[in-house]
Structure 1
Amino acid sequence: MNIFAEEEGEYFTWFNLNRGMHKFHLNKGFNTIRLPYNIKNPKRWEPNGRGKPTVYATKISLYKKGGRIIRDINVTYGLRDIELIQEKDEKGKSFYFKVNGNPLYIKGTNWIPADSFSPRITKEKYQKLIKAAKEANMNMIRIWGGGIYEDEEFYKACDENGILVWQDFMFAGSFYPADNEFLENVKEEVKDQVKRLQNHPSIALWCGNNEIDEAIVNWGYQKQFNYSKADSLQVWKDYKKLFHEVIPNTLKENLTSDKNKYWPSSPSIGWGHKESLTEGDSHYWGVWWGEQPFEMYNEKVGRFMSEYGFQGMPTLSTTKSMFSGVADLDLQNLTIKAHEKHARGWEIINKYMERDYPIPTGFVKYNYVSQLLQAKGMQIAIEAHRRAKPYNMGTLYWQLNDCWPVVSWSSIDYLGNWKAFHYQAKRSFEPILISVAENSKAYEIYLINDVLKEIKADIKFELIDFAGKQLWKSNINKELKADVSEKILSINKADLVKFDVSKSVLKISSDSEDVKLEKLFFPVRPKDLKLSKPNITIKKISPTEIEISTDVLAKDVYLIGDTHFSDNFFDLLPGASKRIILSKSLDKVEVMSLFDTF
C-alpha cells in the first residue's frame, strides 16, 4: 500500500473486514507499507461453471494520531490463482489456463466497444451484455486491442458473473514507433491501467497487442509502402522493444502478483503457418476471409482459438432502427447495404448460403436464414474445438457485441437482441455436451464433460423420421471421467443407408440422473431436407410463459415478438413440447420455420 504523509509521525489503519487496527510510523513523503489482516473462512472466486465468483469488499481508513481521518480507501477483490500453462509436448506446446489449481477449458468471445460513442454506454448495457455471456455458459471475454480500455462497470460485471478477462493493451494491426518519448508514454499508459484493474479477480491475462506480429510477418505492409530492407528491420526492432521489453518490464514493476501473465501478441503465430495450430493462440480466418467451407473448422483446430467468425444479419427490430423514418426492408435498399462495411460481405454471405440453405427472396426470410447460416458455421467451429480437448483448451469467437446497428460477426446485435448465433452458442457451450463429427464412413459421437466430477449416462440413439416414427435405435451406458472429451460411439453410415436420411433425424439423448441431454443431428444439409409443413401450436401458460408443440418436425423454429425469448431458433420433434419464458408478456407471438423458406 502506498501512502503520502505530509508530516512524519504515528498513523493508524482500520479494516472493516475484520475490525482490525494497525499502528505504524510514516516518514514525510511517500511510504510503502504492508498491512496484514485475516479473512475468516475465505472462499475462492470461481469462474462461471466452476462455482460462485466470491468478491470481497474492504474499507481501509487511515488515521493520524489523535483521531483525524486522512483517507478512506475502498477495495474490492477476489481470492483466486490463475496461471497460463505452456509446456512442450509431442505435438507442440500447450496453451491453457489453470484456475485455482484446475485446468479450465475456456469458452467465450471477443469484445469490441459497445457503442461508437463510448459516453453512451450505460452501466445497464454493460451488465446486460456480460450477463448474456454468463447465460450462454461462457467463462472468458477477450477485450480486443483495437477498442478501448473499458469502464469500471465492465470489469465489475465480469467479477460478479465469473467471466475471466483477457485484456489486450490498446495496440492493433499497425506499426508503432519506439522512440523514448513514445515509450515513456506507453509506460504511463500501462501503469495507469494495471493500477486501475489488477485487483479485479476477473483479470486473467495481459496481452500486448492484437495482430501486430502477424501484420509484420504476413500482411505485406512493407511491400505496399515500399519499405527498404533497413526500414523493415527497424519495424521489427521497434516491435520487439515495445512488446517484448517495455510493456512486460512495466508490468513486472507494477503488478502486485506474478500470477497475472503477459502474452506479447494475439495471435502468437499468423494464420497460414503450421505452427499456429500447434502452439500459442490462433486467429483462424480461413472461413469467411478465405471463403473456405465451414467444414474446414474440423481440420483447423489449434491449441487455443482466440479469434474466428462469420457474419449474420441483426434482428428485424435492429434492422428497422437503421432508418430515421419508415423502414424499407429490402436487400437492395441503400441504407441496409451501407450497414455492411465489409467490401464483399453480401457476396460472401450469399456464397455460403448457396452451399447449405435455400436462398429466400423476401427480406424477413433472408434475414432469418442469414442468422441460421451464421449459427450453423459457428456451431461447427465451437464443437470441433471442444471435441479436441485437451489438445485444444479454449475457444473465443469473434464477436459478442456491436457498436452500431450492422451486419456483422456478433452474436448479440446493437440493441442487445440475441441473434440465432447466441442461442446456438449457449447450446454449444453447455458444460456437458453431445457433439457429432461426420466423416466419409461414419458419424462419430462425442461426449464432452467440463465438470470436475465423473458422470454416468444411459445414452439412447434413435433415427426418427419427420413424422416421429422410430426407424433405428441403439443405446450405451457410459461412465465419463471428469473434465474430458471422449468419442463414445461410431455409427457406420452403412447401418442407416436403407433409410431416407433426408427425411429423418438422429436423436441422441440421456435422461440419467447425472446427464439430461438431447441432441438432434441432421445427416444432410438444410437445403436437402425433405420437410413437410409443420402445424406449430403456441399455448399460453402464463403472461410470460408459452409452450410450443408441432405435429411434424419443425426445423429452426423462429419466435418473433418484441420480447426476449429464453430459447429460439430451435428444432422440435412431433410429440415433444418446449416451454419458453418471455421477458415481458405479448398479446401475440409470430412463428416461422425453415419450411417457410423453401
Structure 2
Amino acid sequence: MYLSRDLHQGWTVRAADEQLVPAVPARVPGCVHTDLLAAGLIPDPLLDDNEQGLSWIGRTEWVYETFFDAPPDGAAHVDLVAEGLDTVATVLLNGAEIGRTANMHRSYRIGIDDVLRASGNVLTIRFHDAYAYAESVRDLVGERPNAYDEPFQYIRKMACNFGWDWGPTVVTAGIWQPIRLSTWSTARLDVVRPLVTVDDGTGRVTVHATVARDGDAPLTLTAAIGPHRRSVSIRAGESAGDVSVEVPDVRRWWPRGHGEQHRYDLEVTLTGPGGEPLDRYERAIGFRTVELDTAEDADGRRFVLRVNDRDIFVRGVNWIPEDAFVTRVSRTDYAHRLEQACDAGVNYLRVWGGGRYESDDFYDLADELGLLVGQDFLFACAAYPEEDPIGAEVEAEAAEQVVRLMSHPSLVMWVGNNENIWGWHDWQWQEKLAGRTWGRGFYLDLLPRTVAALDPARPYWPGSPYSGDEEHHPNDPARGTMHIWTVWNTDDYTHYGDYRPRFVAEFGFQGPPAYATLRRAVSDEPLTPDSPGVLHHQKADDGNGKLLRGLAGHLPEPHGFDDWHWATQLNQARAIRFGVEHFRSLRPLCTGTILWQLNDNWPVTSWAAIDGDGRRKPLWYALRAAYADRLLTVQPRDGAPAVVAVNDGAEVWRDELRIRRVTLDGSPRGKLHTAIEVPPGGVVTVPLPPEVAAADDPAAELIVVDADGAGRATRFFAEDVAIAYPRPAFDAVVRPEPDGASITVTARTLLRDLTLFPDRVDASASADDALVTLLPGESATLRVRAAAPLDDERLTRRPVLRFANDLLPG
C-alpha cells in the first residue's frame, strides 16, 4: 500500500558558517531570503536599494535541517521525494550522504531504507554556493556570451534569479517545492504519461506507465474516466504497460471565447496480484486537438494556431515569474492574475524561458479559464553549453517537465528557447564562441525529439523568434514568429506601423508602476524620476532616457514627478494600443500578438501591464480595448484613414458605424453612416470619403467612430504637441458606494484619455475604466473600489484625475 507524508514542519536554516547566520526557523516550501526576512535578519530585498547589500546571500552555503520519525505503516520501502531543490545540494540522512542535485527544474526520489531509523531521523540538505558551481562549470566547458554579466547559463536554475532588465538579482537557495516521504510495497507507479487525443467525436487517453517493483508479482494497470474503464496486465518481470480508454461523444475543451472548458477526471491505478491497491495517479484532462500551421504561402511562412480545427487569433501576453521569490505565490495569487488577464481580453500566455516551468496551480487555472499557454523550455538570452553536466541535466529536465505538463489542455505549444537563435545570428556571438556549442543541439535536436517521443499530440517550435528553418533570418517579419524591440530601443512607436509581421511573439514599451506601488517600494524624499530609489527600480539600460525620448513628438517633456508619471504611463498605453490595433487590422496576414509583458515580479518601471503590487497600469486598460473581441480602429489605407472592423467573436457581427469628423468643440464637419457585417474571425475595411478623411485644420479636428456593439474609436489628425487643446473643463459628481464610490465626469470641453488614479487617495483603491475620451456635453461614470471611504475633493482634481490635454502648457 502506498502512503505519502509531507515533511514541511520543523525545519531550520543556517549558514554553513554559523557565525555568519545561526539557525532560524525555515518555511518549507520556501527559500533562504524569505526565511531570513521572516527572522528579521535582513531588510526586504525588494524595497529601496536593499537588493545591493544582500548579494552575499547568493554566494553563501546554506544548511536546512529537520527531524522526523519513520512512517509506522510497515511498508517495504520508504523513499524521500523532493519535488524541487534550489539548486546545487547535498542531501544527508542521519549523517550519510544519500543524494546530490544540480537542477532546480527536476524532482528527486531517493530510497532511504538502508539509513532510516524508527525515530529521531535527521534530514540535512546543504545548498552550495550557486555562483561557485556555475563558475566552475564555465571553467570546465569554456566561456560563452550572454545578455548580462551573470553566469546563469552554466547552472540549471531560474535565469532571472540572476537579475534581468526588469528584475532584481536575488540568487535564491532552498527547498522550493514540496518534500515528502513516500512508502510502498510490491510496486509503485514511476512515470505516468497520459496521451490525450480526440478523433471524430471520440476522446482517447492512452496511458503509458512505467513501474518500480521489488519482485516479479504480476500487476494490473487500470485507466478510468467516469464509467469508461480499461485494464491491462503487467506480467512478472515487466516494468511498463500501456492502456487506452475511450470516451464516445466527448465534450471538447475550447479556448475562452470559443466554447466551454469541459474536463474529465482521469484515474490510473496499479493493483497487485490479489487486487490490492498499490498506487494511484489522478488528473483532470481535456479533449481537444491542436496544430500549428506553418506552411509556406505567397507572403512567406504563416504561423497559425489551430484548436479543434478552428484558427485562433492569439491575443497574448508574456508571463514571467509572479514574484522574485516564487515560493510566495499562492493559488489565489495565480487566480487573481489570470483573471486580470482574461478581463483584458487575453486568450494566450507565453511562459517565458528565463523563469520556470509553471506550477500545476497555474496550469490548472489556465485549463479552467480556457487560457491557451505556450511553455518555453528554460533557455533565455544566452549561449548555453551542450556538454555535460549541463547536457545531461537538460535531457532529464525536459523529459520530466514534458510528462508533468502534458495532461493540461491549456498547454498548446512547446518553444525551444527565448532569443538564443536570434542572438547567435545578431549579437556578435559567433566570434566569441569560436566553434563551441551554444544550444543549437538542444533547440533543433534534443528538445524536438523529446516532445515527439513523449508528447506527439502537441506542436514544438524551436525558438522565439524563429522563422521555421535555418536558411532564413530567425527574426524575419514575413516568416513564423518575430520580436520587435526596435520601437522601445531606438524608434518611435509609430514605427510599429511599418511592420507587416506574421506573428509577433514579443513587443513592448515601458512605463512606471502605479504611484502607490512606487511609493511603498521607494522611500526617496522627494520622489523624482531620477531620485536614487526610483532609478534603482528601473533596470533597463538607459530606461528613463528611453522613456523621455519616447515622448518626443507625442507629448511635451514633463515637469515634475506627477506629470512625468502620468505622461510616461499614458505614452506606454498609447504605444501598445497603436501596435496591437495595427497588427490585428492585418488579419489574416498577422495571426497573433504576445505583449511583453503581463506581470512584474517586484515593484519596478517596466513593460508590464500589471505592476509588482498587482495594480493595473493604464496600459492594462488600453490592452483591454485593443484585445476586445470586436475591435474598431482607424488605420491608414492607400494614403487615407479607413475604419477597420475586426471580429474575433464566435458570431457574425452586424452593426451600424456612425463615423464623424468633428472639431475639438464637437462641431460636425463630415459624417458617414454605414452598415457592416463581419464574419467570425473576419475583417472588414471601410474607406472614408474625403469629407470625413481629410481635416480642414489638423490641429483642431478628429475622427470619431461609434458602434453599438464595439464602443468608440477615435483618431486625431495631429499629435498632442501640435493639437490646439482647450484647457480641460468639466463637472464631476462623486457618489458614495458600499465598496467605494462612483465619479461621473461631464465634459464642458474635449477631455482626452480621462484617467483616474484613486490609489493616490487610498492604496487599496482602483478604478474600473481609464483612457476615456469625451466630447463636450458627454459624460462618463467611473466606479472605484476601495477598502475605506475616499476623499471626494481629491478624487476630482490633479494628480488623481488626469487628462492628456492637461499635460500641455497653459
Q: Give your verdict on TM over 0.5.
A: yes
Secondary structure of the residue aligned to 1:187 is: helix
How is 1:417-566 mapped onto 2 (pairs within 5 angstroms)? 417-438=615-636, 441-492=639-690, 496-498=694-696, 500-511=697-708, 515-529=709-723, 530-540=725-735, 542-544=737-739, 546-550=742-746, 551-561=748-758, 562-566=764-768
**Whole-Å separation in 2 of the counterparts to 1:333 and 1:248:** 48
Secondary structure of the residue aligned to 2:439 is: helix
Q: 2:448 aligns with which of 240, 244, 248?
A: 248
2:526 counterpart of 1:328 = yes
**Whole-Å separation in 1 of the counterparts to 2:695 and 2:222:** 77
Match of 1:595 in 2: 805
Alpha carbons of 1:9 and 1:249: their partners in 2 closer, same or farther (altered >3 Å)? same
**Which of 489-498 and 552-561 deviates more?**
489-498
**Whole-Å separation in 2 of the counterparts to 1:572 and 1:204:** 41
How is 1:5-24 mapped onto 2 (pairs within 5 angstroms)? 6-9=215-218, 11=220, 13=222, 15=224, 17-18=226-227, 20=229, 22=231, 24=233
Q: Retained in 2: the 8 A contact 1:557–1:593? A: yes
Q: Retained in 2: the 8 A contact 1:93–1:280? A: yes
Q: Under a length normalisation based on structure 1, what TM-score does the superposition of the two structures give?
A: 0.91
Mind listing any 5+ residue stretches in structure 1 that lack a counterpart? none
Match of 1:202 in 2: 410
Once the two structures are superposed, what CA deviation does each residue of 1:566-594 show, in whole Å capped at 9, x if it has no partner? 21232223333334343436423342222
**Which of 310-319 and 519-528 deviates more?**
519-528
Alpha carbons of 1:28 and 1:564: their partners in 2 closer, same or farther (altered >3 Å)? farther
Q: Retained in 2: the 8 A contact 1:48–1:162? A: yes
Alpha carbons of 1:28 and 1:440: their partners in 2 closer, same or farther (altered >3 Å)? closer
Q: CA deviation at 1:37?
A: 4.3
Q: Under a length normalisation based on structure 2, what TM-score does the superposition of the two structures give?
A: 0.68
Alpha carbons of 1:16 and 1:302: their partners in 2 closer, same or farther (altered >3 Å)? closer
Alpha carbons of 1:493 and 1:307: their partners in 2 closer, same or farther (altered >3 Å)? farther
Secondary structure of the residue aligned to 1:403 is: coil
Q: CA deviation at 1:74?
A: 1.2
Once the two structures are superposed, what CA deviation does each residue of 1:469-513 show, in whole Å capped at 9, x if it has no partner? 333211111222331223112343786433x443333211122xx
**Whole-Å separation in 1 of the counterparts to 2:644 and 2:693:** 19
Q: CA deviation at 1:540?
A: 2.2
Once the two structures are superposed, what CA deviation does each residue of 1:543-562 show, in whole Å capped at 9, x if it has no partner? 34625232222211121223
Q: CA deviation at 1:105?
A: 0.6
How is 1:343-382 mapped onto 2 (pairs within 5 angstroms)? 343-382=541-580
Q: Retained in 1: the 8 A contact 2:554–2:721? A: yes
Q: 1:576 aligns with which of 770, 778, 785?
A: 778
Which residue identity lines up with residue 424 of structure 1 in the other structure? A
Q: Retained in 1: the 8 A contact 2:256–2:371? A: yes
Which residue identity lines up with residue 412 of structure 1 in the other structure? I
Mind listing any 5+ residue stretches in structure 2 that lack a counterpart? 1-206, 759-763
Match of 1:299 in 2: 498
Which residue identity lines up with residue 729 of structure 2 in the other structure? P
Q: 1:309 aligns with which of 503, 508, 516?
A: 508
Alpha carbons of 1:262 and 1:492: their partners in 2 closer, same or farther (altered >3 Å)? same
Which residue identity lines up with residue 259 of structure 1 in the other structure? A
Once the two structures are superposed, what CA deviation does each residue of 1:183-231 show, in whole Å capped at 9, x if it has no partner? 32211011110111011111111111111111111101344x4x5xxx2
Q: CA deviation at 1:275?
A: 6.8
Alpha carbons of 1:166 and 1:25: their partners in 2 closer, same or farther (altered >3 Å)? closer
Q: Retained in 2: the 8 A contact 1:547–1:577? A: no
**Whole-Å separation in 2 of the counterparts to 1:494 and 1:568:** 27
Q: CA deviation at 1:326?
A: 6.6
**Whole-Å separation in 2 of the counterparts to 1:185 and 1:121:** 26
Q: CA deviation at 1:42?
A: 2.7
Secondary structure of the residue aligned to 1:276 is: coil
**Which of 191-200 and 462-471 deviates more?**
462-471
**Whole-Å separation in 1 of the counterparts to 2:281 and 2:678:** 48
**Whole-Å separation in 1 of the counterparts to 2:242 and 2:555:** 65
Q: 1:130 aligns with which of 331, 338, 343?
A: 338
Alpha carbons of 1:493 and 1:476: their partners in 2 closer, same or farther (altered >3 Å)? closer
Once the two structures are superposed, what CA deviation does each residue of 1:16-46 show, in whole Å capped at 9, x if it has no partner? 622747474543452212142436x532111
**Which of 91-100 and 146-155 deviates more?**
146-155
Of structures 1 and 2, the one scoring higher in RCO (CA 8 A, sep 6+) is: 1
Match of 1:146 in 2: 354
**Whole-Å separation in 1 of the counterparts to 2:341 and 2:729:** 32
Alpha carbons of 1:543 and 1:485: their partners in 2 closer, same or farther (altered >3 Å)? same
Match of 1:286 in 2: 486
Match of 1:337 in 2: 535
Which residue identity lines up with residue 602 of structure 2 in the other structure? W
Q: Retained in 1: the 8 A contact 2:656–2:707? A: yes
Q: CA deviation at 1:279?
A: 0.7
**Whole-Å separation in 2 of the counterparts to 1:438 and 1:506:** 13
**Which of 433-442 and 471-480 deviates more?**
433-442
Q: CA deviation at 1:10?
A: 5.7
**Which of 52-61 and 110-119 deviates more?**
52-61
Q: Retained in 2: the 8 A contact 1:320–1:327? A: no
**Whole-Å separation in 2 of the counterparts to 1:306 and 1:349:** 22
Q: CA deviation at 1:65?
A: 5.0
Alpha carbons of 1:18 and 1:134: their partners in 2 closer, same or farther (altered >3 Å)? same
Once the two structures are superposed, what CA deviation does each residue of 1:82-119 show, in whole Å capped at 9, x if it has no partner? 11101111111111101110111101111111122221
Secondary structure of the residue aligned to 2:587 is: coil
Q: Retained in 2: the 8 A contact 1:183–1:246? A: no
Q: CA deviation at 1:455?
A: 2.2
Which residue identity lines up with residue 548 of structure 1 in the other structure? T
**Whole-Å separation in 2 of the counterparts to 1:241 and 1:332:** 44
Secondary structure of the residue aligned to 2:546 is: helix
Rg: which structure is higher?
2
Match of 1:64 in 2: 272
Q: Retained in 2: the 8 A contact 1:107–1:396? A: yes
**Whole-Å separation in 2 of the counterparts to 1:22 and 1:274:** 47
Alpha carbons of 1:14 and 1:146: their partners in 2 closer, same or farther (altered >3 Å)? closer
Which residue identity lines up with residue 247 of structure 2 in the other structure? N
Q: Retained in 2: the 8 A contact 1:441–1:493? A: no
Q: 1:86 aligns with which of 294, 312, 316?
A: 294
**Whole-Å separation in 2 of the counterparts to 1:21 and 1:91:** 49
**Whole-Å separation in 2 of the counterparts to 1:470 and 1:532:** 21
Q: Retained in 1: the 8 A contact 2:676–2:684? A: no
Q: Retained in 2: the 8 A contact 1:405–1:415? A: yes
**Whole-Å separation in 2 of the counterparts to 1:293 and 1:454:** 36
**Whole-Å separation in 2 of the counterparts to 1:580 and 1:509:** 20
**Which of 164-173 and 468-477 deviates more?**
468-477
Q: Retained in 1: the 8 A contact 2:217–2:272? A: no
Alpha carbons of 1:81 and 1:583: their partners in 2 closer, same or farther (altered >3 Å)? farther
Which residue identity lines up with residue 441 of structure 2 in the other structure? K
Which residue identity lines up with residue 486 of structure 2 in the other structure? G
Q: CA deviation at 1:66?
A: 4.2
